[in-house]
Amino acid sequence: MSHLARLGAAVLSLLAGTGRVVLFLLAAAHALVRPPFYFSELRRALLNIGYFSLPVVGLTAFFTGAALALQIYEGGARFNVQSVVPSIVAIAIVRELGPVLGGLMVAARVASSIAAEIGTMRVTEQIDALVTLSTDPMRYLVAPRLLAAVIAVPALVAVGDAIGIMGGWLVGTSRLGVPSAAYLQATRDFLEAGDVLSGLVKGAVFGLIVALMGCYHGMNSDRGAQGVGRATTSAVVSSAILVLAANYLMTEVFFSP
Amino acid sequence: MIRVEGLCKAFGDTQVLDGVTLDVATGESCVIIGGSGTGKSVLLKCILGLARPDAGAVLLDGDSVTRTGREAFLSRFGMLFQGAALFDSLPIWENVAFRLLRGPLRRPRAEAHEIAIEKLRRVGLSPDIADLYPAELSGGMQKRAGLARAIAADPEIIFFDEPTTGLDPIMAGVINDLIRGIVSEMGVTALTITHDMGSVRAIADRVALLHAGTVRWQGTVAEMEATADPYVTQFIEGRADGPISALR
């Protein structure tokens, strides 16, 4: 009975937590469409989430594309189909690895930074100060970050896709002896607009998840350094898990046979 | 006039505020004293709408400060937080001019900058610090910058939350003098919470002692010094023995 009670309590806690996140998202969506709009905060968030994440997303995509080319060449050699390297690299990067690894990298860098920043503001009364200065924290802090992430992460994914394909091309042409023109032609032939589009949609959803988790855990941070630390960890872990779960669901929707 | 009527607030089984009733007349400086954990900050948060009271009401000039009226209330209001609560991501002048750069009180940027510099001067800070960030200032300077932000939009009501906590006696004296000067000069209604008796004597027109969730005693500073109320005398003399338990 006690096991059953514990299970019930865990399920109730999970449902309550989900409900709180959904209510938070609805409040943020409401804040997004109602003035005043804080464009300077949006610009700052775009820089932080998009521009400053470029190096980590770019390097991740480059090395993934390069390693993928080697793996596919090695695996393809068993069936004498080494020629599929450019097309498989392109499809894998654009459909799956670009968005997912980009989303995870952004989750690690951005969810933590948002949760730590907002959590620190919570425990040092800066959020109370915003309220006393007639400024709604949902509009000033949360809405610009959500919007910036939804705009910036697909852009990061697009750049990451290009860099990832370039990583594969570099290894393919320099190490595997594939002629450059043939590699690029194969990439162009096999890649479809839908592949790119699905990756960008995934990027937008991952951006929303990452910013939402960062803001939610930051705004609900407990007191003290430990509280902020816990909020940061929760933001990164929950956004990483949700990015992977959402990726599976969207892959089912876009590509299920 | 601010009127707090029968305000109650509990956290779980702990009844922090148990029917607090308090009037603060227009232009008056009221200081609420009380030991740590007696609900002074909770009272302030309930008045501001940062915490929702379980019962009771806050009236401003006779009108209830409900959720809809809160905006109007806050637009007439300034606050100095215990830790100054300056925004880390903004330079000092933008912190001071925060209200003047956005919302209904918005001014052109150059004018807001000019006002911020004037307010910084008013609290004894040099314009040289205007472009620094809060982390680059000492605690006392942050407190003064917080005070400049509180008065930037020329509010009618100012709340001070533990204005001298964490400051050395000289800097505490500077802050007390600034608060007294600003309150008298601007003719604002001030509500301060503190357990620093130096602040009480420097700032207060009237003192209220909060104990066990209610206003236990209130009167002028002169009445406070003369009263035989055992709660007040224990508090102002800082004695461990008396009706206020040292264990909380």
Residues B5-38 pLDDT 10s? 999 999 988 999 999 999 999 999 999 998 888 8
**Sites in chain A below the pLDDT cut of 70:** 1
Q: Give the pLDDT band (50/70/90) at residue B182.
A: confident
Contact list, B83 vs chain A (CB under 8 Å):
124-125
Chain B residues near any Cβ of chain A (below 8 Å)? 45, 48-50, 71, 74-75, 77-79, 81-83, 85-89, 98-99, 102-104, 149
pLDDT at B165: 86
Residue in the structure block whose two tokens are 């709604």: A136
Count CB pairs under 8 A between chains A and B: 51
Gap from A39 CA to chain B (nearest CA, Å): 11
Question: Mean pLDDT score of chain B, rounded to an integer?
Answer: 90
- Spatial CB neighbours of A210, under 8 Å, sequence gap ≥ 6: A103, A106, A107, A110, A111, A149, A153, A239, A243
pLDDT band at B248 (very low <50, low <70, confident <90, very high): low
Q: Return the residue matching tokens 């820089």.
A: A47
* pLDDT in the model for residue A1: 63
Cα dist. B11→B17, B39, B51, B68, B175 in Å? 10, 11, 11, 25, 33
Judged by CB atoms closer than 8 Å, whether chains meet at A36 and B85 is answered as: no
Q: Do B48 and A131 touch (CB under 8 A)?
A: yes
pLDDT score, position B195: 86
Decide if pLDDT at B47 tops 60.
yes
Query: What 3-state class would DSSP assign to B132?
Result: coil
A125 and B87 within 8 Å at the Cβ level: the answer is no
Using the beta-carbon criterion (under 8 Å), do B74 and A125 form an inter-chain contact? no
Does the pLDDT at position B190 exceed 90?
Answer: yes
pLDDT tens per residue, range B98-147: 999 988 888 999 999 999 999 999 988 999 999 999 999 998 899 999 99
pLDDT in tens, A2-37: 889 999 999 999 999 999 999 999 999 999 998 889
Confidence band, pLDDT 50/70/90 cuts, at residue B67: low
How much of chain B, in percent, has pLDDT values that exceed 70? 98
Q: What is the mean pLDDT of residues B184-203?
A: 91
**A129–B45 CB contact, under 8 Å:** no
Say which DSSP state B156 is in: S
Q: Tell me the residues of chain A between 12 and 71 that have a Cβ less than 8 Å away from chain B.
A: 36, 38, 44
Q: What is the CA radius of gyration of chain B?
A: 18
How far B230 CA lies from chain A's nearest CA (Å)?
A: 34
Q: Is A67 helix (H, G, I), strand (E, B) or coil?
A: helix
Domain B2-237 fold: Rossmann fold (3.40.50)
Do A209 and A108 touch, CB atoms closer than 8 A? Answer: no
Q: What confidence tier does B150 reach under pLDDT thresholds 50, 70, 90?
A: very high
pLDDT for the residue numbered A83: 80
Mean predicted confidence (pLDDT) in B204-232: 93
